[in-house]
């Protein structure tokens, strides 16, 4: 079921008594980490309310093909593009006949025509309807068109008949859907990543900060999501767009970043501290803008900020913890010192004094330092480097989990 993490599933519900089971399907998919959008035919709403599915999925239920409000937001074509997989459960005899004929006379059949995502149907109907030659011909036509048919099961039916036509159980359908997706290096893992600089205010208009662009942290968030993880990106102020399917928490100060890092830390499997956190902050923040006086020298009193990565590494619900070491000299010495002193599992060290890599650049070159060894990765784009780093981190994390 971990393979469903971050997957975008469109659940179609058609008219039939088995529609009540769709609530459990939605719950199971959400529990497995999938993002679920529900589309109901008019007949389906006679068996289960859209409000129930909205509460379980966390999204408004899509009902009408030509809904002006829906088209102003995620229109039906965008919904078709959004889905990684479409599951129609239950799929009634009427719906199977209409989609087999290539009809697009409601929202759900239109989505089936417009999508490039795989489509799976879970038939549910009276046993005589399932055995009918027309239904069997329609099912064969859908199979030939690339649709997957899951079920039906045989047994006692709501009408009192016994035979094939029961929809497969929600647990079976969820497991089959999970099996459609590749198992990835971080499937089922929850990853927290800090990125960018922090800003420590002096007064309402000035602050202490640094040159971090956040590019490395954002690239790591994208790579972790691509590797199957559920990602929370805790970002300082940057001019970047967060990756899709990533939960982004915007913060300003080191204290705010620490609070966001510790929130729900018990759910975190991997913590990567890629942010450039200000080491110190002003003792006091001026209520109004500090005016320039006649003094040639202005003195500021600073106090040490909390050490976010060390705090996470010492937490009672400690995740696998990876820190960054941005240095200008003695790179490996300082990186290994940080690894030991802060009790980290890995340190990613880079020399920010080298032109063309590090702060604000699009490329980087790093050395992975663990308690056992140090491995240098060649200079490349931060996007490609992030992918390599996530692969290496996942190997160490999964090895630790297997012990």
Please tell me the distance from the alpha carbon of residue 96 to that of residue 262, in angstroms, as a whole number: 49
Task: Tell the burial category of 52 from Cβ atoms under 10 Å away from its Cβ (0-12, 13-18, 19+).
Answer: middle
Give rounded-to-5 percent helix, strand, coil for the chain.
35, 25, 40
Q: What is the largest CA-CA distance in the chain?
A: 96
Residue in 112, 159, 248, 268 annotated catalytic: 159
Q: Give the single-character DSSP code of 73.
A: S
Answer for the pair 231, 189: CB distance below 8 angstroms, yes or no: no
Please tell me the distance from the alpha carbon of residue 396 to that of residue 299, in angstroms, as a whole number: 46
Task: Tell the burial category of 348 from Cβ atoms under 10 Å away from its Cβ (0-12, 13-18, 19+).
Answer: buried
State phi, psi for 16 to the nearest 5 degrees: 170, 155
Which residues of 153-304 form beta strands (DSSP E)? Answer: 153-156, 162-166, 190-195, 200-201, 207-208, 230-235, 247-250, 270-273, 280-282, 302-304
Q: Which of 354, 203, 353, 361 is nearest to 292 (CA)?
A: 203
In the Cβ-directed half-sphere of 228, how many Cα atoms lie within 13 Å?
17
Q: Which of 127, 188, 191 is nearest to 157 (CA)?
A: 127
248 classed as catalytic: no
Name the 3-class secondary structure at 281. Answer: strand
Please tell me the distance from the alpha carbon of residue 222 to that of residue 231, in angstroms, as a whole number: 9
- Positions marked active-site: 159
């Amino acid at each position: 079921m971990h393979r469903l993490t971050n997957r975008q599933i469109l659940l179609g519900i058609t008219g039939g008594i088995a529609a009540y089971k769709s609530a459990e399907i939605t719950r199971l998919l959400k529990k497995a980490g999938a993002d679920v959008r529900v589309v109901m035919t008019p007949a389906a709403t006679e068996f289960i309310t859209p409000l129930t599915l909205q509460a379980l999925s966390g999204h408004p239920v899509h009902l009408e093909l030509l809904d002006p409000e829906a088209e102003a937001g995620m229109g039906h074509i965008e919904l078709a593009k959004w889905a990684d997989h479409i599951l129609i459960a239950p799929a009634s005899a009427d719906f199977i006949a209409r989609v087999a004929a290539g009809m697009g006379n409601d929202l759900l059949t239109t989505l089936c025509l417009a999508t490039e995502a795989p489509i799976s149907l879970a038939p549910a109907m009276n046993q005589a309807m399932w055995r009918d030659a027309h239904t069997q011909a329609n099912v064969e036509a859908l199979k030939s068109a690339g649709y997957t048919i899951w079920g039906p099961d045989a047994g006692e039916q709501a009408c009192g008949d016994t035979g094939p036509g029961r929809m497969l159980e929600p647990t079976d359908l969820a497991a089959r859907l999970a099996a459609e997706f590749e198992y990835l290096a971080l499937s089922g893992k929850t990853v927290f990543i800090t990125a960018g600089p922090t800003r420590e205010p002096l007064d309402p208009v000035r602050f202490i900060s640094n040159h971090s662009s956040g590019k490395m942290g954002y690239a790591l968030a994208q790579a972790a999501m691509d590797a199957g993880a559920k990602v929370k990106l805790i970002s300082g102020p940057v001019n970047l767009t967060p990756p899709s399917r990533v939960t982004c928490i915007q913060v300003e100060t080191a204290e705010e970043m620490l609070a966001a890092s510790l929130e729900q830390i018990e759910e975190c499997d991997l913590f990567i501290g890629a942010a450039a956190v200000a080491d110190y902050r002003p003792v006091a923040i001026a209520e109004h803008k500090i005016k320039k006086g006649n003094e040639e020298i202005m003195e500021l009193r600073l106090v040490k900020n909390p050490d976010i990565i060390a705090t996470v590494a010492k937490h009672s619900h400690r995740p696998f913890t990876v820190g960054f070491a941005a240095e200008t000299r003695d790179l490996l010495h300082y990186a290994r010192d940080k690894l030991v002193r802060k009790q980290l599992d890995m340190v990613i060290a880079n020399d920010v004094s080298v032109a063309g890599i590090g702060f604000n650049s699009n490329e980087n070159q790093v050395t992975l330092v663990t308690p056992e060894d140090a491995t240098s990765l060649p200079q490349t784009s931060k996007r490609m480097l992030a992918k390599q780093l996530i692969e290496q981190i996942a190997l160490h994390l999964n090895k630790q989990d297997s012990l």
